[in-house]
């Protein structure tokens, strides 16, 4: 495959998971990657002990890997993705408690890009009530992120795998992005364009790229079907990433795919080693 000036990072919450968390940065670096992203690593702890934060920070630094993106607390991932920020009660409170902790951790590593994952619909709770709570919490996060000059990402998932998630299309995610920016007045919310999720939703990826690149601050990829590495499915990533570049996207492309049964390091044969280091 050929890519022109594409900057890749690797998601250490879905790749290299055959290794303990603290060993993954070094493994990614050994595979040639200098930039990484993470879901919130402590699914039961929005505010983990300082020693746990310090240990992961040291592992990233010692490996020579740059953290370029971090999810806020979203509960148990991988799926079915449920998020936290629109879930009334304890989950929403955990999200708010996590925001300053996540920002302090990420910014200590030079990272100012944060993904806030919308929550699933909750039985017995009015959808409008959840959406109002979500907007309140997203504005809270946008303001906190704004204090460090950062970007808040809003992601669309896919309906087949996350049927209870209300954001399962690019237009819906953009609607939320616009609502957060209008309510906060900061204009620091942006779209996270996950081409796997959008493909699973049956969206026209060329049209999504052409319409929404200007509002996109991060891109993630996995092939469809299967959520495997590029080349295991039917998506033409050379064309898709080329189209993104033509439309002005110059940010990172996150590798958020399942490596299959083999060790994660063996799943990168599709990507020449010189293209794995952040440019």
* Cα–Cα distance, 59 to 3 (Å, whole number): 30
CA distance 54 to 57: 5
Question: And the tokens for 153?
Answer: 């990402």
As for how many domains the chain has, the answer is 1
* Burial of 200 per CB tally in 10 Å (0-12, 13-18, 19+): buried
Tokens of 236: 């033409």
> What pLDDT, in 10s, does the model give residues 181-240?
999 999 999 999 999 999 999 999 999 999 999 999 999 999 999 999 999 999 999 999
DSSP the chain: ---SS-EEEEETTTSSTTS-GGGHHHHHHHTT--EEEE--S-TT-SS--HHHHHHHHHHHHHHT-EEEEEEPP-SS-SSS---STTSTTHHHHHHHHHHHHHHHHHHTTT--EEE-PPPPP-TTS-HHHHHHHHHHHHHHHHHHHHTTT-EEEEE---TTT-TT-S--SHHHHHHHHHHHHHHHSS--EEEEEEHHHHHHTT--HHHHHHHHGGGEEEEEE--TTTS-STTSSS--HHHHHHHHHHTT--SEEEE-----SS-GGGGGTTS-GGGTS--
Residue spans of the chain under pLDDT 50: none
Alpha-carbon 196 to chain mean position: 12
The answer to whether the CB of 189 falls within 8 A of the CB of 177 is yes
Does residue 94 lie in a domain region?
yes
The reported pLDDT for the residue numbered 1 is 52
> Residue 212: what pLDDT?
98
In a domain, 215, yes or no: yes
The pTM score is 0.96
- As a whole number of angstroms, the distance between CA 205 and CA 203 comes to 6
State the sign of the Cα–Cα–Cα–Cα dihedral 59, 82, 251, 96: negative
Please report the pLDDT score of residue 78 as a whole number. 65
> Which pLDDT tens digit goes with each residue over 99-109?
999 999 999 99
Asked if residue 1 is part of any domain, the answer here is no
Annotated active-site residue in 37, 91, 203, 256: 256
CB count in 10 Å sphere of residue 261: 7
Q: Which range of residues forms the domain containing residue 70?
A: 7-275
> Residue 13 falls within a domain, yes or no?
yes
Q: What is the pLDDT of residue 80?
A: 65
Residue at 191 is within a domain: yes
Structure tokens at 124: 């017995």
Is 37 designated active site?
no
CATH code: domain of residue 104: 3.20.20.150
Active site annotation includes 256: yes
- Considering the domain boundaries, does residue 2 fall inside one? no
One of 155, 161, 175, 207 is an active-site residue; which one? 155
């Amino acid at each position: 495959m050929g890519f022109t000036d594409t900057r890749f990072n690797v998601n250490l919450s879905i790749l290299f998971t055959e290794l303990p968390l603290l060993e993954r940065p070094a493994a990614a670096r050994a595979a040639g990657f200098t930039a990484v992203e993470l879901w919130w690593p402590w699914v039961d702890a929005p505010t983990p002990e300082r020693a746990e934060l310090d240990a992961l920070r040291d592992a990233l630094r010692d490996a020579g890997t740059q953290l370029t993106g971090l999810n806020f607390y979203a509960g148990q991932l991988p799926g079915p993705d449920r998020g936290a920020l629109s879930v009334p009660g304890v989950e929403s409170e955990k999200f708010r408690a996590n925001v300053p902790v996540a920002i302090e951790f990420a910014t200590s590593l030079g990272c100012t890009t944060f993904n806030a994952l919308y929550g699933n619909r909750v039985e017995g709770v009015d959808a409008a009530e959840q959406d109002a709570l979500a907007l309140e919490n997203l504005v809270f996060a946008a303001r906190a992120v704004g204090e460090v000059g950062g970007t808040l990402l809003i992601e669309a998932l896919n309906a087949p795998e996350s049927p209870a998630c209300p954001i399962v299309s690019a237009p819906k995610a953009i609607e939320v992005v616009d609502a957060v920016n209008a309510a906060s007045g900061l204009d620091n919310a942006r779209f996270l364009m996950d081409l796997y999720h959008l493909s699973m939703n049956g969206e026209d990826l060329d049209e999504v790229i052409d319409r929404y690149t200007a509002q996109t601050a991060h891109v993630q990829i996995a092939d469809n079907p299967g959520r495997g590495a590029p080349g295991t499915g039917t998506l033409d990533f050379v064309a898709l990433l080329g189209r993104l570049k033509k439309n002005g996207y110059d940010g990172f492309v996150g590798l958020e795919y399942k490596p299959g049964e083999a060790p994660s390091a063996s799943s990168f044969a599709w990507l020449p080693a010189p293209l794995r280091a952040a440019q």
